[in-house]
Structure 1
Amino acid sequence: MKRIAFAVACAVIAASASAAPENYSIDPTHSAARFGYDHLGWTYQQHRFDQMTGKIVYDKVAHTGSVDVTIDAKSLNTGYALFTQQMQAEDMFDTAKYPTITYKSTGVKFEGDKLVAIDGELTVKGITKPVSLTVTSFAAGQHPVQKRREGIGANAIAKIKRSDFGIAKQVPVVADEVTLTFTVQAFKD
């Protein structure tokens, strides 16, 4: 009987230990924030920010977590130097005054083991608004290439109005609605 009680106690301790939240750091070489919008009704333009860092907390047993991301606004990249400069100007992102963009989660939603949505607050140009991300893919576990490392991979999408964040130049000729996409890979600390 003592052996059964000991075995049950060990199982409870092991289950409690595995339910602990784990911390992950975003891998900036495999993570990016992008945005796209309708340009004059002729094309759909897509640009990216080349530098993104942050922390993720994930509890795979309790299905809870949090996300805290910082984007270097000065890393905005349109693929064309002059246009990148125009996008970083005061009447657009104003990266000299607002060098970072942040996203901090306020809640996460799981369906079974799959993360499906993240609610949070996006701050652009010092303006903070609630933004919900739809998670389009999510994987957690041993990294397929770096076999000794535990990691997380996810893609998420949201639509916002850029004018809500003080970026209204050329609206409505250039669309106010912007699609945000985040590609994130993170490794356990």
Structure 2
Amino acid sequence: MKKLIALTLATTFATAAYAAPETYVLEQNHTKPRFEYSHMGYSTQQSRFDTVTGKIIIDRAAHTGSVDVTIDAKSVNTGSTPFNAHIQGEDFFNTEKYPTITYQSDKFKFDGDKLVSIEGNLTIKGVTKPVTLTVTALKCMPHPMMKKDACGADATAHIKRSDFNMGKYAPLVGDEVTLTIPVESIKQ
């Protein structure tokens, strides 16, 4: 009987440990959100943000989680210093008044054990809208160089600039924007 109780307790604690939420902090060098849009139909322009902070909490066993990410809007990188300054102006990001972009969520959607989407709120220029990120990849494993557990993911979403009071020159310059978010994070 004592062996049965010990086995039951060991199983319970092992299951509880497996099901515990895990917190991961974004790794700066490999988390660079990108956005792309049509430039007058000539080409698809791609830019990114170089400074992002945040954390992800995920309980893969319970199929729950949360995301809290802050992007430094002044870290926008178009590949052109004058254009970086241009899109930080009032007609676009208005970084003087709104220096950050945030995404917050506590709604993860799983298909079986696979994370497929995250429903949350994106705030740009003081305007908050619901945005669903489609998760196209998620991998968690020990990081070979950091010697800690790590998770990485790729996610995409589609938004309209005009929904965030950034619609100047639309539709000549595309209103539709594709967000691509590669994320790497280290377990705390």
The aligned amino acid for 1:158 is A
Offset of residue 17 of structure 1 = 2.0
For the residue of structure 2 that corresponds to 1:35, the secondary structure is: strand
Which is further off, 118-127 or 8-17? Answer: 8-17
Offset of residue 56 of structure 1 = 0.5
2:153 paired with 1:154: yes
- Residues in 1 aligned to 2:57 and 2:169: alpha-carbon distance in whole angstroms: 39
Match of 2:125 in 1: 125
The aligned amino acid for 2:16 is S
2:139 paired with 1:139: yes
Gaps of 5+ in 1: none
* Cα RMSD for the two superposed structures: 1.0
Query: Are 1:36 and 1:180, in contact at CA under 8 Å, matched by a contact in 2?
Result: yes
Superposed CA deviations along residues 29-62 of structure 1, whole A, max 9, x for unmatched, are 1101110001101100000000011010011211
Corresponding pairs, count? 188
Offset of residue 170 of structure 1 = 0.2
2:175 paired with 1:173: no
Aligned identity (percent) is: 53
Match of 2:71 in 1: 71
Superposed CA deviations along residues 74-122 of structure 1, whole A, max 9, x for unmatched, are 0001001111111111111101110000000130111222211000000
Query: Are 2:65 and 2:106, in contact at CA under 8 Å, matched by a contact in 1?
Result: no
Query: Are 1:106 and 1:121, in contact at CA under 8 Å, matched by a contact in 2?
Result: no
2:131 paired with 1:95: no
Which is further off, 109-118 or 150-159? Answer: 109-118
- Residues in 2 aligned to 1:38 and 1:53: alpha-carbon distance in whole angstroms: 28
2:147 paired with 1:113: no
Gaps of 5+ in 2: none
- Structure 1 residue ranges (4+ consecutive) displaced by more than 4 angstroms after TM superposition: none
- Residues in 1 aligned to 2:32 and 2:112: alpha-carbon distance in whole angstroms: 27
Match of 1:36 in 2: 36
Offset of residue 188 of structure 1 = 0.6
Query: Are 1:38 and 1:44, in contact at CA under 8 Å, matched by a contact in 2?
Result: yes
For the residue of structure 1 that corresponds to 2:167, the secondary structure is: coil
2:65 paired with 1:60: no
Q: TM-score w.r.t. structure 1 length?
A: 0.96
Match of 1:104 in 2: 104
The aligned amino acid for 2:61 is V
Offset of residue 147 of structure 1 = 6.1
